[in-house]
Amino acid sequence: MFDCFGKAGFDSGTKVDGFIPRLREGKLCASACASCKHLSFPPRADCPLCLSDKFDWVVLTGLATVYSFTSVHAAPAVFEDMVPYLLGLADLDEGGRLMAWFDESLAESDIYIGMKVRVVVKELFEPQHNRLAYILKRSK
């Protein structure tokens, strides 16, 4: 299931596959360890702190702050048609960090470290159907 995530999927399945249907419903979720409650984003089934392999999904607000960003001009395979594209690292309000593209309406000069953003689900209408990702929009 997980290979529909992003523009090029590398992992066919994972113990956090449940992330995808939730994202499709517009919910950005982190994992919380069922035992020690440690919150992880990106989500992970296996807790590195207490070694539990049970977890619960926690819906996040999607509110985040830009930690750093770059405009990629030399792309890897599959991404050549997108260059240049803006990649951001955003620290989520509830903890954890994600990498995502910025909303296409934003230019590189609009973006700054510390900028408040919102993580929004985006369907990708690629040659492959039903691909799914998230992007960073300016938070109002």
Partner 1 sequence: MKRVVVLGVGHSRFGKRTDATVQELAFEAYREAVHDAQVAPTAIDALCVGSVPEYHRQRSLAGAIQDHLGLHPAPTWLCEAACASGSAAIRTGVLAIQSGAHKLVAVVGSQKMTDLGTADILALMGRVGDAQWEAVFGSTFPGYYALFARRHMHEFGTTLEQLGEVPVKNHHYGAMNPLAMYRKPITIKRTMIAPVVASPLRMYDCCSNADGAACLILADETTASNAVGAHPRIILHGSGAASASMSVLRAGDLTGVPSAREAARQAYSQAGVSPKDIHVAQVHDGFSITEIMAYEDLGFCGRGEGGPFVQSRQTYLGGSIPTNVDGGIKAKGHPVGATGVSMAVEIVRQLRGECGDRQVPNAALGLTHNVGGVGQYVFVNIFRRES
Does residue 84 have a cis bond before it (omega within 30 degrees)? yes
CA 44, distance to chain mean position in Å, is 13
Helix, strand, coil percentages (3-state) for the chain, rounded to 5, are: 10, 40, 50
Q: For the CB of residue 34, give the shortest distance to partner 1 in the complex, in Å.
A: 21
Among 31, 112, 7, 29, which Cα is nearest to 66's?
112
Quick one: 89 or 140, whose CB is closer to partner 1? 89
Q: For the CB of residue 41, give the shortest distance to partner 1 in the complex, in Å.
A: 8
Q: Rounded to whole angstroms, how far apart are CA atoms 136 and 68?
A: 12
Q: For the CB of residue 128, give the shortest distance to partner 1 in the complex, in Å.
A: 12
Quick one: 14 or 52, whose CB is closer to partner 1? 14
Quick one: 104 or 140, whose CB is closer to partner 1? 104
Q: For the CB of residue 14, give the shortest distance to partner 1 in the complex, in Å.
A: 7
Q: How far is CA 34 from CA 16, 45, 52, 58, 102, in A?
A: 14, 10, 7, 11, 33
Quick one: 12 or 140, whose CB is closer to partner 1? 12
Q: List residues binding partner 1 (CB under 8 A).
A: 2, 5-11, 14, 41-42, 67-80, 82, 84-85, 87, 89, 96-101, 108, 113, 133
